[in-house]
Amino acid sequence: MAIEKVREYFRQFSIDDRILEFDVSSATVELAAQAVGVEGARICKTLSFKDGEQGCILIQAAGDTKIDNRKFKDTFGQKARMLTAEEVLAFTGHAVGGVCAFGIGNENVKVYCDESLKRFATVFPACGSANSAIELTCEELFKYSQALGWIDVCKLKEGE
């Protein structure tokens, strides 16, 4: 299971005991917010995009945002094209609903953190399953996901 892979990854930092597992699904921002007991914006969603023919870009962003296509193209020099569920699993080892940037170990995956997360002291990314999360500061998220940088490619969803 992918959550065990993430647990093992976090063990090297002695934070594996911080993983939260729920009796309910946390596969969407709304469900994760209910499971954790926080506003949806504090859920750190991991969005996956094609990077040329052989690679993948993972963007960790606040739960109340969506990709701004112009900012994405200006940042990465290509149109934002999301991966299929099968491609996400192949690149990350995590199924949709539990995708995270922890313990991936795939050189073709580039991880970034979106500035939208910096509004919060802590955020809650998934841990490889559709019923898990971990509370991390933005600095911890950046470090443990081995992000390449902070970027600004998101905007608030309409009505948020």
| pLDDT 10s digits, 119-159 | 999 999 999 999 999 999 999 999 999 999 999 999 998 76
Residue 10 in any domain: the answer is yes
What 8-state DSSP symbol labels residue 16? Answer: G
pLDDT value at 31 more than 70: yes
124 CB neighbour count, 10 Å cutoff: 26
CATH of the domain at 104: 3.90.960.10
How is 27-90 classified by DSSP, letter by letter? -SHHHHHHHHTS-GGGEEEEEEEEETTTEEEEEEEETTEEE-HHHHHHHHSS---BPPHHHHHH
Domain that holds residue 51: 2-153
**By the 8 A CB rule, do 157 and 116 touch?**
no
Residue 159 in any domain: the answer is no
Residue 44 in any domain: the answer is yes
pTM of the model: 0.95
Number of domains in the chain: 1
As a whole number, the mean pLDDT across the chain is: 95
